[in-house]
Amino acid sequence: MLFNTQSAYSFLQSTLDPKRYVAKGKALGYTSLGLADQGVLHASLTFYQACRQAGIKPLIGMMTPLPGKVQVDQVYPYLLYALDDQGYLALIQVSKAVNASQASDLAWQIIQTYRDHLVLISPGRQGEIEQALLHDDQDKAVAILNQLKAAGLTDHFYLGMSIYPFNKLEAQGLIDFAQAMDLRLVANQAIEALEAEDGPALKVLQALHANETLDGSVFDYRTSHYLYGYQEWRAMYTKQGLGYVLENTEALVDQMDVTIPLNQSLLPHFEPPAGQKAADYLRQLCLQGLDRIKQGDNPSYQDRLDHELSTIEAMGFVDYFLIVWEMLAYCHRQGIRTGPGRGSAAGSLVAYLLQITRVDPIQYDLLFERFLNPERYNMPDIDIDIPDNKRDQVLHYLENRYGHDQVAQLITFGSFGAKQALRDSLRVLGYDRQTQSVWSKAIPQELAISLDQAYANSSDLRALVAASSDQAAVFDLAKRLEGLPRHTSTHASGVVIGDQPLSTWIPILDRPGQLQITQYAMEEVEAVGLLKMDFLGLRNLQLLDEVLHLIQVNQQQDLDPQAFDQADPKTLSLFQQGETLGVFQFESQGIRQVLRQVHPDSFEEIVAVNALYRPGPMQQIRHFIARKHGKEGVDTLHPRLAEILQPTYGIIVYQEQVMQICQVMANFSLGQADLLRRAMGKKQVAIMDKAKDQFIQGALANGFSQEMADKVYHYIYQFANYGFNKAHAVVYSTLAYQLAYLKAHYPLEFSTALVNQGRSQQQSQGDYLRLAQDQVGPFLRVDINRSLLEFAIEGGQIRIGLMAVKGMRQDFAKAVLNERNLAGPFIDFQDLLRRLPDKYLKEDLIQALIDAGALDGFTYNRATLTANLTNLLQYRKISGNQIALLAEIEPKIAAQKDWPLAEKIKREIKALGPGLATHPLDSYQGLIRSSQSGLMTSQDFFQQGLNRRAVLLLLVEEVRVIETKRGDLMAFVTGSDSQGQVKLVVFPEAFTRYQSFLKEGQVIQVTGRVDKDRQQAKQLIVQTIQPPPALTAASETTDQPTYQKVFIRLDPARSQPPLDQLKEIALAYSGPLAIILVDSNQNTWQLDAPYQISSAYRAQQALYQLFGKDNVIFR
């Protein structure tokens, strides 16, 4: 029925789900249903498909905001419905126009062009004609109608009549006008929900949209704007003497018939060089690829190529491969690094030869049919990884290559998840943020958890729901919102390309200065038959690119990651030790622990770990480990299956193994085997039963026993749902291996790129900073005269960049660098203030540099600079750029005693964060290393056995307090010393006693028992916490009370000793020890007083890193 029905895709205006709407309509006996969302067609194809499947006629419409015909500066709603296929295409054009500008006359022009294919309905009280009638302005109403007539728009023009809310006086006015003007009335009831009980949820949505709040009375609200049975509508209209309105509506519906073409072949056409067919050109490119990899005479490669090319041509995908090849060729010409591949596409030799993927499918036993199955027509899906910072460049190329109208990004719809539904419900009902947070924390931290699942798993949530009838009603309300679309966003990778404007087939939203975006989600776009490609900006590929660039600049080496030895001992050792922090796919504590247990001896075993460390197959990891190390027998089921299962110790790790077993044992084609694998994974019983009979019969015919056939079928059924795509595991492990190789062989360049990338990932950056310092030694401090924007390599160490300072503005940092490049280093503090542009003379910007130590190279200490900063800035602003005047009036700097070390560290931590600031525990190193103290470092802790007692001094970095099931509080704490982090578990009894110590930034002495967490990573079960020991002069130097000097032996092989770096270290770790340099002839030089150093642990490590431990002697 042609009602004014809006779905939930008229965001925050309706609770109506399109599929459930169709299902209810069928149950109520409707033979036709309409849908008309506000200005968009997001749900139109989903609705259309659901209607066709249910045997219901779909009526596709749109509530359209249009400029008034008389009052042109006012926008009024008109209901547009498609009469036929051309009308649907007109809706697409109108939707694009009104979303670009509601005030534009373009939409009216499109409607006028397609007037014979569209129904135009004035929709009720808010309509332009109805508003004139409500204001008793008959002349204006007539004038509006005359404008429509003049445009030729009245042949299919109707006035909409609602039965609820029904105002007899208004209705009569509309009826009289219709009769006087010879217009037809049609039913135009607003439908916004499926059930009356959806009323509270509907009110909450609309309040969210209007940014309003509601009171508790909303729980009792029942909407009348829901889908009644058709006979109920008939009774209501007839009761008011309006039965003829429904007859008019039925007559109109009979005229309407829209077909949306699906499963079309809408691939763009690739134009090969003149005179060539596309298929011939594809073969030519592949043969060139065979020569490039030196396999041109290899029969197995030639046979595989012939098979793939014939399949590709038969399925009509030649153009597709050439389009992808062309795009990748552009990337390679531009120096844009592309990933080794993604997903099942790595199973294609054609893709490898075209350099679309970078792994040889024959070498790794990857299957083409897992990617492109000739027995199941599906568009191929080649996903392309590119560096995150190059994605916009690639999209811009596509837009230029095919035209703005022919390229679009995919839309996605953000929906109400469990927490969002609860938070929004509570907010609209006036609950404060603290209450919202309590409810939110009661939802377990599980991905995509539903409210019903949360209720079953969380006693806290059950208690909240049970606390009152209102709270139970809030929970029920949130459940009605859950899953409804809330907003739109852009798909992370999906791009659609057509050989004609995309609005020829699908609705589009135009965005000035950006790519268009589809109104359909990915599934609907693919159902139409358009080419969808995924260009994923991959952070780790950007990391690889940046490491290789640093190696080229720093070591003048141009490395090709494809040439890395996959049996490299240093790289394999890194995986065996689980030292894979910063390595794609292998960063988590859990997988690093698995690596240590598996101890992979080959690239293939690294691939297997990557595939096994997933929620499904993870249960097989212990068997894999035990079988590899000979602690459990390996069963390959049958000798003829040993070649398939032996590499993974008899465990089905990969989906491809299921396919190969079906092929070897039952003579399945790989295409048939892929169909069975898919059916098993999706539990498609009918397909599985048919395929089982075929499998058993094939196995028997192939000489296997009934018992063995049954056993193997049961085995592959058991594992098919958990097996991972081997092609995907291989390509992603390839990228991981390349990063691990660089980490093992080029730690300086790897660490520099990693910490630069980690700046945007706060949760990982602390680990990355520690890793960098473990690999290449302490950082060189941030320095106004030496630092670049980002972390940078300087003399074999890493210099902290200006952007590492908290709150640093990039434009300010760039201004500093520009000035330094133009006029040289800043001479002193006053020189810095003189040369900075006026807009950067802000106290907070300069103070952050002081606190970070970036101005330590100037004459004055940090306390002095801070004390004089305000005064100097005022005088600089007064004098402007008049240097002579500034020299006359500039105040003299009044020297101050420097801050105590604790104050300097506190300010440094605030300015740089704990990973870059001087660590508060540096001053305790003498005490910690003293044999009498009983203290250990974090590195010592990780060498302790389970249940051993451990005592550590730690800086509290993070405290996470939770409530146990019994309602007690406990905490998970992250603490650190200068050598690493330790995880602490503070159970309720200890938490009650020691919670006052658990403040971020506080130094504590903690005693506890060594334990392991679920990922087998060591943690400390806290028993006692106390303040750190008081530092006396003796305790600071317990291990070396007589150190007065440090002697550094210079290496005669170095033409220039690294004096600049030495001075940097001395300034960073200032102390009382004189620095004395000794050359090969035993000549000595003592550095000037400003360059004296402490004997702190980090200072010693920095000197050892620079000169070698044997060449540094403290006395």
Q: Tell me, what's the pLDDT at 1034?
A: 38
Q: What is residue 687's predicted lDDT score, i.e. its pLDDT?
A: 83
Is the pLDDT at 859 greater than 80, yes or no?
yes
Query: 43-57, 92-106, 327-341: which range is least confident on average?
Result: 92-106
Q: Which tokens go with 871?
A: 């005064």
In a domain, 432, yes or no: no
* pLDDT per position as a tens digit, 800-843: 999 999 989 999 999 999 999 999 999 999 999 989 999 999 99
Number of domains within the chain: 6
* C-alpha to C-alpha distances, 1094 to 146, 625, 900, 929, 1060, nearest whole angstrom: 92, 48, 15, 16, 18
The mean pLDDT of 348-371, rounded to a whole number, is 96
For residue 884, the model assigns a pLDDT of 53
Of 1009, 1035, 1061, the position where a domain reaches its end is 1035
Looking at the fold, whether 679 and 803 belong to one and the same domain comes out as no
- The CB density around residue 131, as the number of other CB atoms within 10 Å, is 19
Q: pLDDT category, 138, cuts 50, 70, 90? A: very high
- 236 and 118: one domain? yes
728, 342 Cβ separation under 8 angstroms: yes
Are 929 and 1051 in the same domain?
A: no
- Which percentage of the chain shows pLDDT scores above 70? 96
Give one DSSP letter per residue of 1-48, joined into a string: ---EE--TTSTTS----HHHHHHHHHHTT-SEEEEEEES--TTHHHHH
Mark whether 307 and 395 lie in a shared domain.
yes
The position carrying tokens 């009661």 is: 442
Report DSSP state, residue 345.
G
Task: Give the pLDDT confidence of 205-248 residue by residue, as tens digits.
Answer: 999 999 999 988 889 899 989 999 989 989 999 998 999 999 99
- The predicted pLDDT at position 1014 comes to 78
CA–CA separation, 102 vs 66, rounded Å? 6
Indicate the Cα dihedral angle 302, 304, 307, 312, nearest 10°: -100
615/704 same-domain check: yes
> Is residue 641 situated within a structural domain?
yes
Q: What is the largest CA-CA distance in the chain?
A: 117
Q: Do residues 545 and 529 both lie within one domain?
A: no
Helix (H, G, I), strand (E, B) or coil at 962: strand
pLDDT per residue over 943-982, tens digit each?
Answer: 888 999 999 999 888 899 998 888 889 999 999 887 778 9
Assign residue 229 a region: left if phi > 0, alpha if psi is -120 to 50, beta otherwise? beta
Amino acid at 639: P
Q: Are residues 536 and 546 in the same domain?
A: no
Q: Is 599 among the domain residues?
A: yes
Percent of the chain with pLDDT over 90: 66
Is 808 in the same domain as 880? Answer: yes
Domain-embedded: residue 712: yes
Confidence label for 102 from pLDDT (cuts 50, 70 and 90): confident
Q: What is the pLDDT of residue 889?
A: 62
| Residue 264 in domain | no
What pLDDT does residue 783 have? 95
CATH code, 901: 1.10.150
Q: What span, in angstroms and rounded, lies between the C-alpha atoms of 592 and 570?
A: 16
pLDDT at 448: 84
Indicate if the pLDDT at residue 1036 is higher than 50.
no
Domain of residue 995 covers 920-1035
From 514, 540, 566, give the residue that closes a domain: 540
711 lies in the same domain as 673: yes
**Residue 1008 bridge partners (DSSP):** 950, 1022
**Is 1037 a residue whose pLDDT tops 60?**
no
Say whether both 533 and 563 belong to one domain.
no
Yes or no: say if 345 and 533 are a contact pair by the CB < 8 Å rule.
no
Asked if residue 418 is part of any domain, the answer here is no
Q: How far apart are CA 993 and CA 971, in angstroms?
A: 12
Average pLDDT on 287-295 reads 95
Model pLDDT, residue 73: 87
Q: Are residues 597 and 657 in the same domain?
A: yes
Distance CA 526, CA 131 (A): 43
Tokens read off for 331: 């990337």
Given pLDDT bands bounded at 50, 70 and 90, which one contains residue 887? low
Give me the chain's average pLDDT, please.
90
Per-residue pLDDT band for 1033 (boundaries 50, 70, 90) equals very low
Cα separation, 493 vs 147, whole angstroms: 46
Report yes or no on 450 lying in a domain: no
Q: Tell whether 798 and 726 lie within a shared domain.
A: no
Examine residue 755 and state whether it is found in any structural domain, yes or no: no
Q: Residue 978 is part of a domain; what is its CATH number?
A: 2.40.50.140
| Across 478-492, average pLDDT | 93
